[in-house]
Amino acid sequence: MNRTYYITTPIYYVNDVPHIGHAYTTLAADVLARYKKMRGYDVFFLTGSDEHGQKVEKAANSAGETPLELADRVVKRFQSLWERLDIDYTDFIRTTQERHKKGVSHLFTKVMEKGDIYLGEYEDWYCTPCEAFWTETQLMDGKCPDCNRPVDKLKEESYFFRMSKYQDQLLAHIEANPDFIQPKSRRNEIISFVKEGLRDLSVSRTSFTWGIPVPGNDKHVIYVWFDALTNYITALGYPDEAGNFGTYWPVDVHLIGKDILRFHAVYWPTFLMAAELPLPRKVFAHGWWTVEGQKMSKSLQNVVEPNMLIEKYGVDAVRYFLLREVPFGLDGDFSHTALVHRINSDLANDLGNLLSRSTAMTSKYFGGVVPEPAALQEIDEAYRAKTVEMVHQVDGLMDEQAFSKALQCIWEVISAGNKYIDETAPWTLAKDPDKKDRLATVMYCLLESQRIVNTLLSAFMPKTAVKALSCLGWTSPANDTALAWGLLAPGTVIAKAEPLFPRIEEKPE
Ligand code: MSP
C-alpha cells in the first residue's frame, strides 16, 4: 500500500473571475501533488468552488440570472483555466452538489445533537463583502478591519457554535504541533488571537436564502464558512467514514492565502473537534501578490489575468515564475519585467542553454548516442555528488512548501553544469583522440545530471520536462526510481535540443 497524501486548495468564490492570486494557490498545490506522486505517494488533490452566500445571490440578481446559473457559468472559467495551467486535480467539488449538501447537513446535525450548536440572537457589525462579523473593538475606525469598508449593525436570530468551549483544546493542539500552522509568523498571530479568547460563532443566517438550509429549521441557511470548510471532507464522501474519507483524512496540507487563515486555523479545527474528527496535519498560509507595487483590484484595473500571461509567455514560464519569484509564505510583487527577466536568465540562459550545449556536443562528438563513461575524476564526482545531494535537499524543502528554495537548489546544479562545461572544456578534449574516454565521461555526467534535474522539474514544468527528457532519450515515467544516478544507458539515442525557452528580446510592457 502506498503512503497517502491529501492536499487541498481553497474553494474559489464564483462571484469573481480567476486571477493570478487564485492561480497561485492552485499551482502550488499542483506542484506539490505532482511531486508527491512522483515520490510514490497515493495523492488526492482537491480543488473546487464556493457557490453559496449573499455575495453570489446579489451578483446573480444584478446579472438577471439565478445563483446556480451564475455559478455554472463562472465555474467553467475556473475549470478551463486549470486545464490551461496543467492543473492535474483528483476532484473538483462544488458546494451546490448534493454530495456536499448532504455532508454539511450531517455535520451540522451531529454538532447540534452534541449540544455544541444552540439557537440564540445575534447583534454585531457585519461586513457584507467579507462575509464576516466583527465586534465593536475589532473595527478599525468604525470600518471592517480586513477591507476597510463600512459595516452594518445586524441583529438576527441565529444558531451559534460553542467555539469558546474549544479554546483551550485548540491552543494546546497548536502548541503541541509546531507544524500545524505554517509559516511560523502566522502561527504566532493565531496563538495571540486564540489567547485573546474565542467567542461563540454565529453559524446561520436568516437575511438571505442562497445556502444550505439548517436541518429542521429552513428559515435559516448555514453560515458560508461552515458550509465552505466542510468541502474538505464532503469531497471524500463524508459522512461515509469508510472509502476515501477513511483513506485520506486527515489532510496532509491545506494550502490557503493568509487572508483566510483564521477560518482554517481556528474555526475549522474547532468544528472538527466538536464532531470528534481528526484535525488537519498542516495549514499553510501563503502571502499575497501585488501588481507593479499596487494592490490588485478591479477598480485599479490592474488584475492580472492568467490566460493572458499563458498566451504571452507560455504555461511553464508562468508556473515557474510564480513559484520561483517569491518565497511561499511571503508577499510578493508581480511585474512583466521580473517575469521576462526570469525567462531570459533562468529558463533560456541557464536551463535551456545547458541542454542545447550538451545535446549539441553529444551529437557532434558521439553521433547523438550516450557514450559509455570511464572512471569519474574529482571534478565529475563533485558534480555527481551535487546532483545526488540536490534530490535529497529538494525532498526536505518540498515538505516545508519551500518551493522557491527547492527551485534555487535545482538551479545550483544547473549552474554547476554550465560551469562544469567551461572547466572541462570538451571542445579541447575532442581535439585529442587519447582523451576520448575523458570526453565520454564528461558528456555522460552532463546528460545524466540533466536527466535527474528535469525529472524533478516535471513537478514544476510538466511540458518542458517531458520535452527535455525526451531529448535525453528518457521516456520512462518520472518517478522515485528515476531519481537515482547512473540510469541513463550508454547507447541511448538522444536528440539535439531546440531552445526550450527562446529569449524574449522585446521590451516588456
Ligand atoms: N471561498 C473562500 C475560500 C473558502 S475555503 C473553504 C475564498 N475564496 S476566494 O476566491 O476569495 O480566494 C481564494 C484564494 O485566493 C485565497 O487563498 C486567497 O488568499 C487567494 N488570493 C486572492 N487574491 C490574492 C492575491 N492577490 N495574492 C495571492 N493570493 C490571493 O476566500
- Of the candidates 393, 263, 381, 404, the one whose C-alpha atom is nearest the C-alpha of residue 330 is 404
Which H or E run contains 339? helix 336-342
Q: pLDDT value at position 138?
A: 84
Pocket of ligand 1, candidates 12, 107, 289: which has the most ligand atoms within 8 Å of its Cβ, to mutate? 12
Q: Whose CA is nearest to atom 6 of ligand 1?
A: 229
Higher pLDDT, 241 or 442: 442
Pocket of ligand 1, candidates 8, 9, 13: which has the most ligand atoms within 8 Å of its Cβ, to mutate? 13
**Has residue 79 got a pLDDT over 90?**
yes
Q: What would the pLDDT profile of 471-508 be if each residue is shown by its tens digit? A: 999 998 888 889 999 999 999 999 988 899 999 976 64
Q: Whose CA is nearest to atom 9 of ligand 1?
A: 12
Pocket of ligand 1, candidates 253, 256, 262, 272: which has the most ligand atoms within 8 Å of its Cβ, to mutate? 256
Q: What is the mean pLDDT of residues 302-323?
A: 95
How many CB atoms are closer than 10 A to CB 308?
A: 9
Cα–chain-centroid distance for residue 17?
18
Which grid cell is 397? 524543502
Please tell me the CATH code under which domain 335-483 is placed: 1.10.730.10
Q: What would the pLDDT profile of 358-414 be if each residue is shown by its tens digit? A: 999 999 999 999 999 999 999 999 999 999 999 999 999 999 999 999 999 999 999
pTM value? 0.94
- By the 8 A CB rule, do 29 and 275 touch? no
Which grid cell is 281? 496535519
- Identify the residue whose cell numbers are 542545447: 356
Pocket of ligand 1, candidates 8, 16, 17, 24: which has the most ligand atoms within 8 Å of its Cβ, to mutate? 24
Contacts 24+ apart (CB under 8 A), 371-374: 371/439, 371/440, 371/443, 371/444, 371/490, 372/440, 372/444, 372/490, 372/491, 373/440, 373/441, 373/444, 373/445, 373/490, 374/437, 374/438, 374/440, 374/441
Q: What would the pLDDT profile of 451-468 be if each residue is shown by its tens digit? A: 999 999 999 999 999 999
Pairwise CA distance, residues 180 & 282, whole Å: 4
Pairwise CA distance, residues 367 & 145, whole Å: 67
Q: Whose CA is nearest to atom 18 of ligand 1?
A: 257
β-bridge partners, 94: 49
Q: What is the mean pLDDT of residues 85-94?
A: 98
CB under 8 Å to 343, separation ≥6 — which residues? 313, 317, 321, 501, 503, 504
Residue 492 vs residues 438, 475, 497: alpha-carbon distances, Å? 19, 11, 15
Q: pLDDT value at position 479?
A: 85
Range from 56-65, 78-87, 272-281, 453-462 carrying the lowest mean pLDDT: 56-65
Going from the Cα of 20 to the center of ligand 1, the distance in angstroms, rounded, reads 10
Pairwise CA distance, residues 301 & 426, whole Å: 53
Q: Whose CA is nearest to atom 21 of ligand 1?
A: 21
**Among the atoms of ligand 1, which is closest to the Cα of residue 268?**
6
Range from 13-17, 146-150, 341-345, 364-368 carrying the lowest mean pLDDT: 13-17
Residue 38 vs residues 96, 400, 403, 456: alpha-carbon distances, Å? 33, 17, 16, 9
**Among the atoms of ligand 1, which is closest to the Cα of residue 255?**
17
**Dihedral sign, Cα of residue 439, residue 440, residue 443, residue 445:** negative
Q: What is the DSSP letter of 259?
A: G
- Ligand 1 neighbours, Cβ below 6 Å, are 10-13, 16, 21-22, 24-25, 50, 228-229, 231, 256-257, 259-260, 288-289, 296
How, if at all, do strands 332-334 and 152-161 pair? unpaired
**Has residue 509 got a pLDDT over 80?**
no
Q: What is the mean pLDDT of residues 197-210?
A: 92
Which grid cell is 453? 534535474
Q: How big is the chain, counted in residues?
A: 509
Distance in angstroms between the alpha carbons of the first and the last residue of the chain: 51
**Dihedral sign, Cα of residue 107, residue 110, residue 112, residue 117:** negative
pLDDT > 70: what percent of the chain?
99
Q: Whose CA is nearest to atom 19 of ligand 1?
A: 257
Q: pLDDT value at position 507?
A: 65
Going from the Cα of 21 to the center of ligand 1, the distance in angstroms, rounded, reads 7
Q: pLDDT value at position 298?
A: 77
**Has residue 343 got a pLDDT over 80?**
yes
Q: What is the mean pLDDT of residues 230-241?
A: 97
Q: What is the mean pLDDT of residues 168-188?
A: 97
Going from the Cα of 390 to the center of ligand 1, the distance in angstroms, rounded, reads 32
Q: What is the mean pLDDT of residues 157-169?
A: 97
Q: pLDDT value at position 506?
A: 63
